[in-house]
A and B are shown apart, each in its own frame.
Chain A
Amino acid sequence: MAHRKKNRNVGIIGIGQTKYSSHREDVNQPEMIHEAVIAALKDAGLTMKDVDCIVHGNMELFEMVHQPDLWHTLGTGAYGKDCIRITTGGTVGATVACAADNLVASGMYDIVMAIGFEKLQEGHTTGGITNMADPLWFRHLQTGALTGTKAYDVIKEFGEERAKRASLMYRIIMDKHAGLNPNAHRAFGLEFEQIDDLIKTSPRLVGDLKLIEMCSQSDGACCVIFACEKKAKELSKKPVWVRDHITVHREEVFVMFGYDDRNPFPATHRFAAEQLYTRNGVTSPVDYFDVFEMYDPASWWAVDWLRDFFMLKGDEHLKLVENKEIMIGGKIPVNPSGGVIGSNPIGATALVRVAEAALQVRGDAGAHQIPTPVNHALASGFGGTMWTVLMMLEKELNWQEAHNG
């Protein structure tokens, strides 16, 4: 994949999040966004005067609001500034981060604020998602965002007992992580002893995808401030450097009509990971990265995707889960924040992955900070038709010469 080096380096210098929850009647959309914006400005020690451009994104029409970037100006602080709206479905939070990185790296702006938000309780998510599908072929057959095919795949490959236990093991690890994150929407206090019980008792949503394994619908906003190397060094004691990012997607992944061995589920995740690691010289991602904030909409997906993102073979990914290597304190902690299963304000969700990965690099994640040093972090975004976005974050600016500032 053709890829050119950055024109200049970009650092994350401000991070702000709201508490994620099921309802926010007390604030309207711009007011909720404003909370994250103020938190990010405070974190960066900036005012809106310092910000050159705002990149705004969420799921199209999930709040049943047209052109939200315009009427959110009061919350985003975009008054009198350049503002760009981006919407790429579930990946949008990651895409606003990539766009902000590009806008700064290009030299267009020195400081760019990326904002992702969602108030899922206001709109109609399944209706919105269903309308994304091709009206001729798929729209009448859509069920929304849920699918049981991944559970089917994993069960088929590894047997029912091991597969179901791995999915629940992953789920409970996420719940334990969420319990440490004050912003997380859901933390039930699940214990590993409940695995067998939950396999039997949790209601099935689609196929073998159970209610407990699925992410929530959350309200919340996230804001991340990106700055050019010069400004980042001036303004921030601990800038987190954006090393690289990649986006891969394809539309025909609406595989509605059953699993086909000869035409497996297109592996955009693995493709994206391969491209990204190759061009950055990462040979063993599990060893290279210290933390991974993964967009994990459901535990079945999450377990399976670990294999793609970490370029693993056979059942190595299952072993990571089964041996709790993905837990805080493990070999490669995944989602210390509790992940998407813990909180899913969709338009913010993928940006939260970047924000949480950056907090881990800075060592500012609080109770869910992993105990070992974090020098290299990976964040992923996921959306509807197998969109994949990966972003690599670094503590030190030492992987390439910084030509300019």
Chain B
Amino acid sequence: MSLDFDRKDCFVVDGKLALPYTYFAGRMGSKFITTLRDEKKIMGVKCPVCNKVYVPPRQTCEIDMTDIRENWVELRNTGEVTNFTVIRYDDKHLPRKAPFILALVKLDGADSPFAHILEGIVPEEVTLGMRVEAVFAKATTSTILDIDHFEPARVSKVQVSEPAPRAQEHAAVPKSKEELDQDERRKAMSKKIIITAALAGAATMKNQNPAVPYSPQEFADDAYKCWKAGAAMVHVHAREDSGMATHDHGRIKDTHDAIREKCPDLIVNMSSAVGMGKTAEQRISQIIHVKPEMASLNTNTMNFSLVDRKSGKVFIDFVFENTFTMLQDFGKAMEEAGVKPEMELYDMGGLDNWALIAKQGFFTRPFNFNFVWGVAGGQAFRPDAFMTMKHALPEGANFTTCGVGTDQFPAITMSSLAGGHMRVGLEDNIRIPTGELAKGSYEQVEWAVKIAQIAGREVATPDEARAIMGLRKR
């Protein structure tokens, strides 16, 4: 049939319907939304006759018409995905930029699923039945968006499942010809030097150096300057506005995303140490939530204290706990989430610890290590110790280094000479080699670039750094 109608001289009326309305939520809806808003609790009602638990709450059980309005139950913030769809177009009325996931989430304890945004996972990885948890919005809108979104549930006890079968990448398996070729290419590339800027750490405060970033925006601005100066990677501990190190997923993700937004090219390496007094679960769950390209993996339990360098007086005594189980669980969780671990070696024992756990075979090549010098509780920088550690690394491993305070520049200079990479930044040291306060981590990056020039090393771009460290090509 022909669709070739004659449309000549046909007048078309263009109109628009836009009608205001209010919605009376009723007492049930009112309690649900105000409890969500004021107490960050998700409330449902349970039918005493058929035991069905409704969320959102209803006044009447649809099955048996029982009046259930007084039978409130508090639901958990966790649940499972019963179905989902991926929105692949942008429109004004949509709550997120496409693509994003809308999932039906059945909360633990509820019998009726409800729709919400699912974040922190790519559509390809969403599975029915997957565990998710609610993330509450920072600012209330008195709508269902007071739950900002759902995201994959935190790993309460890191799973000890077998790693995905990526046999050819496993440490224990002999390497293929192709892999050996890759190693050769990496070796060649390794003549280039990767500069990392550790922007803030958990302890350096603005009263020590006002350039220390706290807000996601400050992190992003700082990262941008470092990238401009020559850094290929930034290492991040997110901070609250107060300056306190935080394990809050939202804040960490905001910080990570702000950096990614401002400098999409840059590699973001997140801390799995987070800060003093954080639980194992707090330390790893944020990594799994944010899924940065890389994250630190600490290899030994040690003192990590604040001791006056001149008088030896102890200001703050703290044991930085990194048990074998944590090393194993964190490592597995990272590998499974596609986050490349950077093994932090505070002394030779840390390397030995790692090597023991690595026998399980879940760490993927190439391995990336960071020698950390000068922590009060770890070892001070010594060139011979440095070379001893370098020699003890597994074949083909990459290494970088950082040093606390005055150890910083000597250690990275050593690394540049020994074929390793360099980490600078206000996390480790607030000054430049002249003794003046650094205007920002970027100024230390500028110094690192000079050191690279002296050592005859070319500075790696982020993509070159990815190739060297075995990160997925972007």
Q: Which residues of A contact B (CB under 8 A)?
A: 23-32, 34, 47-48, 61, 63-64, 73-75, 77, 79, 119, 121-124, 127-128, 131, 135-136, 139
Contact = CB atoms under 8 A, between A and B. Distances in A.
B59 A124 contact: no
Q: Which 7 residue pairs of A and B lie closest in terms of their CB atoms, listed nearest first?
A: A28-B26, A64-B21, A127-B19, A79-B62, A124-B19, A27-B26, A135-B13
B390 interface: no
B24 A28 contact: yes
A161 B63 CA distance: 59
Given A25-B24, A32-B26, 6 more contacts: A27-B26, A28-B24, A30-B60, A75-B60, A121-B22, A122-B23
Interface of B: 11, 13, 15, 17, 19-29, 58-60, 62-63, 65
A29 B59 CA distance: 11
A127 B18 CA distance: 9
A39 to B, nearest CB: 13
B19 A34 contact: no
Nearest to A78: B62
B21 A139 contact: no
B24 A74 contact: no
B193 to A, nearest CB: 62
Contacts of A127: 19-20
Given A63-B21, A77-B65, A28 B29 contact: yes
A24 B59 contact: no
Contacts of A136: 11, 13
B24 A73 contact: no
A162 to B, nearest CB: 41
Contacts of A47: 65
A128 B20 CA distance: 10
A52 to B, nearest CB: 15
A61 B26 contact: no
A179 to B, nearest CB: 27
Contact of B15 (A25, A30, A75, A135): A135
Nearest to A41: B65
A71 B63 CA distance: 14
B33 to A, nearest CB: 11
A122 B27 contact: no
B60 A74 contact: yes
Contacts of B13: 135-136
B54 to A, nearest CB: 9
Contacts of A64: 19, 21, 23
A24 B11 CA distance: 44
A14 to B, nearest CB: 15
A359 B29 CA distance: 34
Contacts of B24: 23-29, 119, 121-122
Contacts of A29: 24
Contacts of B59: 27, 30-31, 34, 74-75
B25 A131 contact: no
Given A64-B19, A123-B21, A79 B63 contact: yes
Contact of B19 (A27, A30, A79, A123): A123
Contacts of A77: 60, 62, 65
Nearest to B61: A74
B20 to A, nearest CB: 5
A28 B60 CA distance: 12
A62 to B, nearest CB: 9
B60 A122 contact: no
Nearest to B58: A74
A215 B17 CA distance: 26
A210 B376 CA distance: 87
A63 B59 CA distance: 20
A122 B21 contact: yes
Nearest to A61: B19
B15, B26, B27, B58: which has the most chain A beta carbons within 10 Å?
A: B26
A32 B29 CA distance: 13
Contacts of B17: 131
A251 to B, nearest CB: 18
Contacts of A139: 15
A136 to B, nearest CB: 6
Nearest to B18: A127
A23 to B, nearest CB: 8
B26 A124 contact: no
Nearest to A35: B59
B32 to A, nearest CB: 11
Contacts of A75: 59-60
Nearest to B25: A28
Contact of B62 (A24, A27, A63, A73): A73
A48 B21 CA distance: 32
Given A31-B28, A135-B13, A135-B15, A74 B22 contact: no
B144 to A, nearest CB: 14
A367 B330 CA distance: 77
A77 B60 CA distance: 9
Contacts of A24: 24
18 contacts: A24-B24, A25-B24, A25-B26, A26-B24, A26-B27, A27-B24, A28-B28, A64-B23, A75-B59, A75-B60, A77-B60, A77-B62, A79-B62, A79-B63, A121-B24, A122-B24, A124-B19, A131-B19
A77 to B, nearest CB: 5
B26 A26 contact: yes
A124 B62 contact: no
Most interface-central of B13, B17, B19, B58 (chain A CB within 10 A) = B19
Contacts of A63: 21
A28 B25 CA distance: 5
A25 to B, nearest CB: 5
A129 to B, nearest CB: 11
A131 B13 CA distance: 13
B24 to A, nearest CB: 5
B27 A27 contact: yes
A376 to B, nearest CB: 35
A23 B59 CA distance: 19
A316 B11 CA distance: 50
User: Which of B20, B21, B24, B65 has the most C-beta atoms of chain A within 10 angstroms of its own C-beta?
Assistant: B24
A23 B22 CA distance: 11
Contacts of A128: 19
B52 to A, nearest CB: 11
Nearest to A119: B24
A184 B225 CA distance: 71
